[in-house]
Amino acid sequence: MARSPAKDHTTDKIFPDGFLWGAATAAHQIEGSPLADGAGPSIWTRFAHTPGMTLNGDTGDVACDHYRRWKDDVKLMRELGLRAYRFSVSWSRILPEGTGRVNQAGIDFYSQLVDELLANDIEPLLTLYHWDMPAALDDRGGWLNRECADWFAEYGRVLYRALDGRVKKWVTLNEPWVVTDGGYLHGALAPGHRSKYEAPIATHNLMRAHGAAVQAYRAEGKHEIGLVVNIEPKYAASESSADKAAVERAHAYMNGQYLDPALLGHYPDELKEIFGDAWPEWPAEDYALIKQPLDFIGINYYTRSVTKANDSYPLNAGAVKQALGTYTETGWEVFPQGLTDLLLWAKERYGNLPTYITENGAAFFDPPVADTDSSGARRIRDPLRMDYLRKHIGAIHDAIQAGCDIRGYMVWSLLDNLEWSLGYSKRFGIVHVNYDSQQRTPKDSARWYSRVIATHGRSLADPLP
């Protein structure tokens, strides 16, 4: 991927009128009470309770207790000045068996949350699926069963009928690449499978489910629906032909595997090379289902990858850590220029679609308990996170100046939360959570971000506190 010229991110930034500033979360990571009020278990409930699958055996049984503390969390969003809140719905709260019987208590929970957001002038962005399929559907094959497209469309229709109009921005899938790579190829995430033959099937059925959910929305809804992907720019470790070929494979596998079928109606050719005899041929009608007109795309960005050819499966490519640079607690390089580069790439390849940065953030060390400053107030100092956010918001502004239609920014995450199989070991939140007391403390980054929102980006030029 070509690099755009490095920019000075300290100059004055003013974002377009109507730019939507917000924060993002996911149901299983924050809600807790996963079986409350008639909900069914999800694949993550099952996975986390399987010994050895998560760090320290951590589960989402309590998480941030958002299921019971949601009113206070919305009040906190209002105090920070958020204009939008991106959240996901737990499928098994709505349909405990995945299909059929609707759990009204689940509908009521999200309906009340949406009403509270709107009462506080915060726009809801609702994601149907953030990795937590009902366990009952996994028992029927999960994303390996072609019927999943019908299951997902049914689930979508239940929510569209309950919430459309109050919710005007919908997302089908969050990061299908992670679902497939982590859940079906490498086994690090639920449902914990490891098969090169299953991964392409899961990919394709996820995309079919996406298309079916969009079709269902066009029949039921009246507003906007899109797809959220995580994409990561790939740069060659050297000028060798082997490294350049490795970059093309890595780029197709992560960045093209889901956007190409959704927006162009086909998969990248490199996937056949990557998976070999495990990559099936799909019928033309599947592509027609997948390629539905979208109102927007969401892009989640955290880091880049410098890629070198090697013998690792499935890509014969691997990331090379750079000698210089800042790295987060998850081992990801801080590289804001990559965000500008990939936004320009997406504009060139897919056209200038309305785009939201639906996740962007960093895990750095924060203490488990907040400090107390000289006035007695609780405080979490997180200068590295503030610097990360400032540089990446600046990179978005550079992309806007270059003509990209970027409509909003959702910081990941509002709250420290369950980082999936890494448990509670990584803190991404701009709001600190004491997991023992569930006390929330806005970090310095939250106060800083609040000022960015209030000034519509002008304060990005100010020195960090």
DSSP assignment of 17-41: TT-EEEEE--HHHH---TTGGGPPP
141: left (phi over 0), alpha (psi -120 to 50) or beta: left
- How far CA 47 is from CA of 176, 181, 307, 381, in Å, comes to 18, 16, 31, 34
| Helix/strand number for the chain, H first, E second | 16, 15
User: What pLDDT sits at residue 285?
Assistant: 98
**Whether residue 285 lies in the annotated active site:** no
> Which residue's entry shows tokens 């995945």?
98
Task: Give SS3 for 5.
Answer: coil
- pLDDT recorded at residue 110: 99
Q: For position 2, what pLDDT does the model report?
A: 53
Q: Which of 462, 442, 464, 320 is nearest to 388 (CA)?
A: 464
Among 31, 116, 198, 359, the active-site one is 359
Given this model, what pLDDT does residue 324 score? 85
Which sign does the torsion angle of CA 182, 186, 192, 197 carry? positive
Token pair listed for 240: 């060798």
Catalytic residue status for 281: no
Profile the chain (465 residues) by mean pLDDT over runs of 10 residues.
51 87 98 98 98 98 98 98 99 98 98 98 98 98 98 98 98 98 98 98 98 98 98 96 96 98 98 96 98 98 96 87 92 98 98 98 95 88 98 98 98 98 98 98 98 96 90
CATH number of the 20-461 domain: 3.20.20.80
Q: Would you state the pLDDT for residue 373?
A: 82
The pLDDT of residue 442 is: 98
Query: What is the DSSP code (8-state) at residue 41?
Result: P
Alpha-carbon gap, residue 20 to 446, rounded angstroms: 16
pLDDT of residue 10: 43
Break the chain into its structural domains and give their ranges: 20-461
**Catalytic option among 175, 248, 333, 419:** 175
Q: What's the token pair of residue 109?
A: 């929970």
